[in-house]
Amino acid sequence: MRPFIVLLNKEFIKLRRDSFLPKLIVILPIALMLIAPLLVRMDVRNVNVTVVDLDHSTTSHRIVSHIKASEYLSLVGSTAEFDLAMKGLEEGTIDIIVQIPDHFERDMAVSTPEKISIIANAVNAVKGSMGTQYVVQTIAHALVEFGNEKSPNQLSEVVTVQNRYNPTLNYPHYMIPALMIIIFILVCGFLPALSIVEEKEVGTIEQINVSPVNRFDFTLSKLIPYWVIGFFTLIVAMVIAHFVYGLIPAGSVWVIFLGTTLFILTISGFSLTMANFSSTMQQIMFVMFFFIMIFILMNGLLTPIDSMPDWAQTFTLLLPPRYFTDILRSVYLRGTTIAELWQEFVALGSFAIIFNILAAVTYKKQA
């Protein structure tokens, strides 16, 4: 017991005295939680639309004012110069050009009018397609008011939409659980590995290896500080989510704690396992960057896992963050119960056990 206690004590002293790490551990989660939710929006807003109005009729003016009033669209001038508009599109100041053809209003009343032309800059494919959608819907609504037979179905008045769990469609609320996971991955997944590789590079690890210290004791002493830090990070993140963004867990806080604990255990165990195979800072840096990158991209932050192709979905089954994202998002936003998440918990629990055992077992005192 005594070797373990002194080792653990040494880790905490080292951490305290480090010139960089304590500041990082405190500032990074706070800064990310305060700033990132404002930035990580993938929704489409403020689509810059220019209308090239060749009709100059009441209808076309109505279309323009509807576009102006739209919350998703942003009217950037209406011009008669198509070329000017095109230039704006290429430069990026304009996202979509809407061209209302000559005699549109007149033709509408009589027969099939010439088509309204929508040209979108689709470099950002989502912006292009969603933006176009919004434009189409906006124009359609404008024409409904016009009361023309050819205009869209009255049925749209009798479909109601109920948005559950996030009625205001608050984007930060959706992203915050994923951001929290990223913070955990960075703090508890990256830093423990650095701790071991640093000892390897400096040489202090040799003094440990030549002593009778048991590798389980040593590994545990390296892990525990980061478990503590991880938990502290969780509290900070939840507090900021609550008071700054108004995000309160819909489900049980204990389930969140349990899930986070399992995840931190998993990711730090993984981190140390990787460190046991690296001898230099550069190596571990790259190896961890590689895995962390995959974890972050494939955890459902940018894309829902359901939207991925089958092979990718199967692949995510191997990634611990996938399960934790499910758990955290479900409990935070939908109030899902632990019983409904039993599969994810079992998976995460298994990972935690496996990686921690690996971390201890792959540590070699004698080569």
Q: Which of residues 21-50 bind another protein (CB under 8 A)?
A: 21, 24, 28, 32, 35-36, 38-43, 45-46
Task: Name residues contacting another protein, limited to 138-157 (CB under 8 A).
Answer: 139-140, 150, 152-156
Structure tokens that stand for 68 in this block: 């102006």
CA distance 197 to 363: 12
* 20 is an interface residue for another protein by CB under 8 A: yes
Q: Assess contact for 254 and 231: CB atoms under 8 A.
A: no
Q: Assess contact for 63 and 108: CB atoms under 8 A.
A: no
The nearest distance, CB 56 to another protein, in angstroms, is 19
- Report the length, in residues, of the chain: 367
* 314 is an interface residue for another protein by CB under 8 A: no
For 49, the enclosing helix (H) or strand (E) is: strand 47-53
Exactly one of 14, 61, 68, 103 binds another protein (CB under 8 A); that residue is 14
Task: Name residues contacting another protein, limited to 157-186 (CB under 8 A).
Answer: 158-167, 169-171, 173-174
Q: Assess contact for 363 and 219: CB atoms under 8 A.
A: yes
The nearest distance, CB 60 to another protein, in angstroms, is 14
3-class DSSP state of 183:
helix
Neighbouring CB atoms inside 10 A of 239's CB total 12
The nearest distance, CB 256 to another protein, in angstroms, is 15
* 111 is an interface residue for another protein by CB under 8 A: no
* 282 is an interface residue for another protein by CB under 8 A: yes
**65 or 93: whose CB is closer to another protein?**
93
3-class DSSP state of 139:
helix
* 273 is an interface residue for another protein by CB under 8 A: no
Task: Name residues contacting another protein, limited to 119-138 (CB under 8 A).
Answer: 119-130, 132-133, 136-137
Task: Name residues contacting another protein, limited to 185-224 (CB under 8 A).
Answer: 194, 198, 201-204, 206-213
**14 or 61: whose CB is closer to another protein?**
14
Sheet holding 73-79, edge to edge: 73-79, 47-53, 96-100
Residues contacting another protein: total by CB under 8 A: 125
Name the residue type at position 11. E
End-to-end CA distance of the chain: 26
The nearest distance, CB 260 to another protein, in angstroms, is 19
Query: Tokens 């007149």 correspond to what residue?
Result: 106
CA distances 352 to 69, 118, 188, 258, Å, are: 52, 52, 13, 12
Task: Name residues contacting another protein, limited to 346-365 (CB under 8 A).
Answer: 365
**151 or 353: whose CB is closer to another protein?**
151
**72 or 263: whose CB is closer to another protein?**
72
The nearest distance, CB 321 to another protein, in angstroms, is 14
Exactly one of 70, 138, 330, 356 binds another protein (CB under 8 A); that residue is 330
Max CA separation in the chain (angstroms) = 95
Neighbouring CB atoms inside 10 A of 15's CB total 17
Name the residue type at position 213. V
CA distance 200 to 53: 70
**136 or 357: whose CB is closer to another protein?**
136
Listed ranges 225-233, 264-272, 330-338, 353-361: which one lies at the site for another protein (CB under 8 A): 330-338
* 302 is an interface residue for another protein by CB under 8 A: yes
